[in-house]
């Protein structure tokens, strides 16, 4: 062997040895999958839905005249029904959704995303050993997109939890789930960022990763290298519907707090400050006498809210809340939300270029419709038993219709009890079950109290005048 050939052989051997050493330095997830993979479950749901004829007229539009006899008459009756009658719903179909979850208690408690099981009539859980069990929904929280399920079983494999404050950007993480229905698929990556605020969820400081997450992964666990669950895979950012390198997980400490509250009282309460905030730009920081942009700028203080009672003013920049530094406006909602209701908390603000310390008593975050009214926006309700959307009337609309203090405007009516009663888009709903409807929040309260399988009177205002209609809710 010539000397150059010998040198080349040694060089190739050295490269091979270095590559082998580098490969050994990469994390090995096989043990984690073996130990904790069995605690990950596949979740499918069934939802009963009414199927209607292919052709439907817009709400309130009268059925056109059509020939009674002959093939054309048969065709119109097939799609639209008889004149003056609503088309009958056809066969009921099952709508299925698919997601993931994981067992947090050997007695059968399972954690998943709320959007995986929302609206389900039946929830099926498939375990790693191929068993299928029917799960009961113990409770759910829309704001954090978490749901707690329970199956009747014992001795189930469980996960262990990590600590949210020990998560570091750049550390290796692993997800297990059922993307596109492929059970127990494993994908790995690193933590890309912490404390991400998304437009849809201001109370959750998301963990951003580059782990491949696709439809069906929702509700599955995000593990660290110690086999601890540090997050619940929830959302992706995508322009195609598939994974594009940005996925978001709910931090474990947020999830455990939600689970504890659901088990303890059946619902989740959050702290509320009662302000509308925005980011501090470089120009705004200079105008407020601040050395750099930081904190949450108070753009509005809601009347009678905790902030108003504590003396917080419009133009204040909140830089610390409860001992935690507020670097940007997105930092404030999660910190306030996790503050115990009824506690006195120290708040540091920048006012007129000077630091001031205030004490605020944290109150419970109101319901969505109550919060909307507190913010001075017209309320809106679309998720209700009547299958219609209503909104609060503006001052101009009340003046035009000659109404003083009550009534809500019907914006949309879908197939359901409201449409069957004859309620139309543009109606102003004045009374529900003989009670004056004040606003959307009041409407929601009255609607929840309506009896099933019993006709109740509804008074609506139309251009032609007021009219009573009979509304009947199914069982």
**Residues noted as catalytic:** 115, 145, 218
What is the 3 state secondary structure string of the chain? CCHHHHHHHHHHHHHHHHHHHHHHHCCCCHHHHHHHHHHEEEEEEEEEEECCCCCCCCCCCCCCCCCCCHHHHHHHHHHHCCCCCCCCCCCEEEEEEEEEEEECCCCCEEEECHHHHCCCCEEEEECCCCCEEEEEEEEEECCCCEEEEECCCCCCCCCEECCHHHCCCCCEEEEEECHHHCCCEEEEEEEEEEEEEECCEEEEEEEEECCCCCCCCCCCEEECCCCEEEEEEEEECCCCCCCCCCEEEEEHHHHHHHHHHHHHHCCCCCEECCEEEEECCHHHHHHCCCCCCCCEEEEEECCCCHHHHHCCCCCCEEEEECCEECCCHHHHHHHHHCCCCCCEEEEEEEECCEEEEEEEECEECCCHHHHHHHCCCCCEECCCCCCEEEEECCHHHHHHHCCCCCCEEEEEECCCHHHHHCCCCCCEEEEECCEECCCHHHHHHHHHCCCCCCEEEEEEEECCEEEEEEEECCC
Q: To which residue do tokens 């980011």 refer? A: 279
* Tally of CB atoms within 10 A around 180: 11
Residue 437 · residue 447 · CB < 8 Å: no
Alpha-carbon Rg for the chain in angstroms: 28
- Tell me the C-alpha distance between 435 and 443, whole Å: 10
Closest CA to 82 of 66, 104, 60: 66
Sole residue written with tokens 């998720």: 383
* Interacting residues of 29 by C-beta distance below 8 A, sequence separation 6+: 174, 186, 188
């Amino acid at each position: 062997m010539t000397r150059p050939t010998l040198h080349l052989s040694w060089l190739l051997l050295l490269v091979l040895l270095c590559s082998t050493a580098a490969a050994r330095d990469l994390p090995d997830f096989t043990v984690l999958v073996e130990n904790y993979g069995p605690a990950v479950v596949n979740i499918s749901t069934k939802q009963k839905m009414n199927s209607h004829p292919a052709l439907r007229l817009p709400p309130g539009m009268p059925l056109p005249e059509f020939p009674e006899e002959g093939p054309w008459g048969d065709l119109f009756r097939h799609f639209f029904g008889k004149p003056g009658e609503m088309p009958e719903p056809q066969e009921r179909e099952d709508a299925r959704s698919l997601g993931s979850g994981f067992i947090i208690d050997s007695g059968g408690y399972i954690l998943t995303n709320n959007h995986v099981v929302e609206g389900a009539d039946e929830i099926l859980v498939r375990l790693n050993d191929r068993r299928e069990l029917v799960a009961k929904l113990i409770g759910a929280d829309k704001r954090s997109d978490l749901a707690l399920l329970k199956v009747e079983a014992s001795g189930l494999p469980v996960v262990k939890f990590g600590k949210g404050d020990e998560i570091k950007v750049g550390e290796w993480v692993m997800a297990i789930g059922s993307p596109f229905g492929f059970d127990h698929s494993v994908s790995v990556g690193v933590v890309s960022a912490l404390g991400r605020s998304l437009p849809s969820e201001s109370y959750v400081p998301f963990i951003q990763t580059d782990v491949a997450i696709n439809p069906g992964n929702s509700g599955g666990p995000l593990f660290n290298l110690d086999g601890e669950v540090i997050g619940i895979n929830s959302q992706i950012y995508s322009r195609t519907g598939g994974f594009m390198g940005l996925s978001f997980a709910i931090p474990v400490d947020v999830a455990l707090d939600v689970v504890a509250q659901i088990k303890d009282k059946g619902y989740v309460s959050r702290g509320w400050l009662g302000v509308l905030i925005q980011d501090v730009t470089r120009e705004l920081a200079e105008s407020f006498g601040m050395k750099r942009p930081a904190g949450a700028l108070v753009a509005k203080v809601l009347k009678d809210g905790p902030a108003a009672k504590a003396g917080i003013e419009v133009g204040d920049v909140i830089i610390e809340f409860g001992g935690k530094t507020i670097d940007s406006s997105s930092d404030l909602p999660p910190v306030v939300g996790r503050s115990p209701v009824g506690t006195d908390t120290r708040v540091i603000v920048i006012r007129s270029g000077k630091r001031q310390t205030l004490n605020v008593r944290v109150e419970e975050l109101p319901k969505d419709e109550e919060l909307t009214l507190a913010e001075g926006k017209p309320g809106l309700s679309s998720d209700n038993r009547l299958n219609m959307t209503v909104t609060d009337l503006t001052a101009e609309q009340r003046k035009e219709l000659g109404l003083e203090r009550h009534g809500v405007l019907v914006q949309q009516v879908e197939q359901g009890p409201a449409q069957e009663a004859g309620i139309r888009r543009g109606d102003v709903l004045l009374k529900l079950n003989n009670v004056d409807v004040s606003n959307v929040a009041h409407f929601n309260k009255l609607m929840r109290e309506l009896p099933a399988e019993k006709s109740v009177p509804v008074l609506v205002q139309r251009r032609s005048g007021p009219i009573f209609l009979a509304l009947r809710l199914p069982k």
